[in-house]
Structure 1
Amino acid sequence: MSHSTVPRSRAEAKRKTPGEKTPVASGDVTGSEDKRPSGRLSLKVRFRRDRLLLLMTLPALVLVLLFNYVPILGNVVAFQEYDPYISDNGVVSMLNSPWVGLENFQRIFADSAFWQAVQNTLVLFFLQLVLFFPIPILLALLINSVVRPRVRAIAQAVLYLPHFFSWVLVIAVFQQLLGGAGLLSQLLRSHGYDGLDLMTDPSTFKFLVTAETVWKDAGWGIIVFLAALASVSPDLYEAAAMDGASRWRRIWHVTLPALRPVIALLLVLRVGDALTVGFEQILLQRDAVGPGAAEVLDTFVWWNGVRNQDFGYAAAAGLVKGVVSIGLVLAANKVAHLMGEQGVYKK
């Protein structure tokens, strides 16, 4: 028969005749023309697929642009002798303020008060990195080892509660405990010793600030690490226990490797925030211990810009701080990549 209706074998069906095209299934909405040679979807297809999600993020994107990126244009005053009283319009004031070039930066690098603020900022950062950063990890491991869920929830709530306190309330609590008329001083006097006032002692101020930060914000870190611990499969702990691993061995070989990506990410963010060590917290206690012990870069910028009305000088100091912070983020993220972790962004 010239026109056989008998179906071809599988081998013959797979064999295409010259010029024959492979039909595209009706369910394949992308088609071969919408795919890159690597197999990834094109930007047009991904935009059409995720358009609703992009629309949902649009308000947040507008807020970030208005309050985070547009103010960057104001850094031009670091190169000017900015006078905000030229006009009621800030843009007009920037356009009409005299240009001084790098004069403000030369003043900064020759100012001993600026270098004292840099030193205090770095000392506080390293203290908080060494003393504050490991504490949420240790507390998260401790809470995670509690068997009873109710006890675990109560402990987590108690530790997280200070995160909602304002710095005014936190400092007031420490004043009642460690101040000249505080509980510790009264206890020492009742036993025949001299009282002490740690709240006005410049030599212990850096440790006081670190203790306040630990008490207030350790609960937030606990939640982050507990969320990471929740993703660890219990089978790993059971397998390690069957192999004879003790509790500490299970923590070292199972728990800590599971926390390593989160630790790397938070460490990168913490290093990027190294030059910001708590503006409100330190400003409230600056007068009690003096600027020599409490002046950091943020309070230095505020004091010179807002109090002394030297806006160009303060803007130059803030710009130096921002550039150094970007460098620290990039360097810390590179270290995270060398450790095999993702960091803030992928390679």
Structure 2
Amino acid sequence: MRRGVVIVIYDDYQLLDMAGPVDVFSLASLIVGDGGYAVEVVAARAGEVRAASGITTTVRTALADVAGPVDTLMVAGGLGVFDHLGDRELIDGVARLAATARRVTSVCTGAFVLAEAGLLDGRRVTTHWLMADELRARYPAVKVDEDPIYIRDGNVWTSAGVTAGMDLAMALVAEDHGHAVARDVARTLVVYLHRSGGQSQFSVPLRGSPPRDEALRELQEWIDANPDADLSVPALARRMNMSERHFSRVFRAQVGIPPGRYVELSRAAAAQRLLETTDDSLDRVARRTGLGMRETLYRVFRRHLRVSPGDYRRRFRTAHAKES
């Protein structure tokens, strides 16, 4: 018997959130034969469903017509999810099928549908790093961890953004059919079976909110453009013609973080750019970005990106980077 996998989509979903796992399950089925998967893509209503990319998928089965039980229920993500959280046919349909499913899963912002259906309360979950704060704010009973590529909490599995749906699907295949089958699927798709690192390596360090004061906005721009300058609080306060105490208080009130933290994040972003686009040594990157030493560069990257500078460069360096 094939394991029934139901993947739920809606208008403006992320196409890869559905297509990636479908290909993983399809390849696994070719390898294991009759013990594979029977995948069905459904929506709140049958008919054409438009992905955010403009590609349309013809859905033959409405969510309400899936009798269940199902082996695995998966909800795709996409920015369109926020337009559908009030759709009771979608939310109630997911809740109904989840009660019959051996596993309940989501890709990316599909976690919002599970949360709206009350399926994530008290659970540790993940979603796309850009949407983690939004999930946390909307559903305070959900324990959101934005770094892992995927998380399993009981029979509920949630994954990070977009391509992480393939990581999740391969983990499900490994649970069902063993590591060797999942490894063969990964090799065929030319992807990693276990991706090293979490989402932090892909995220942009948050550097607070834009300040209301034009002089502070200009100061931020100057800091970003001059990472190797003296960016100590005394130096910045002098530049603003303020006392150190008053400057620190005003900066934090308007930007949301202390000036020292802003400077460190700005320097981290500058180091990211150099690692992506140049062949500069780590020592030179540290000097050019005001971090001073390789050891400081390493600590800053581990603290904010949870990856070493060397690993970051190997993953994100552009093909035509040159010494500058």
- For normalisation by structure 2, the TM-score amounts to 0.28
Q: Which has the higher helix share?
A: 1
Larger gyration radius, structure 1 or structure 2: 1
Q: Which has the higher contact order (CA 8 A, sep 6+)?
A: 1
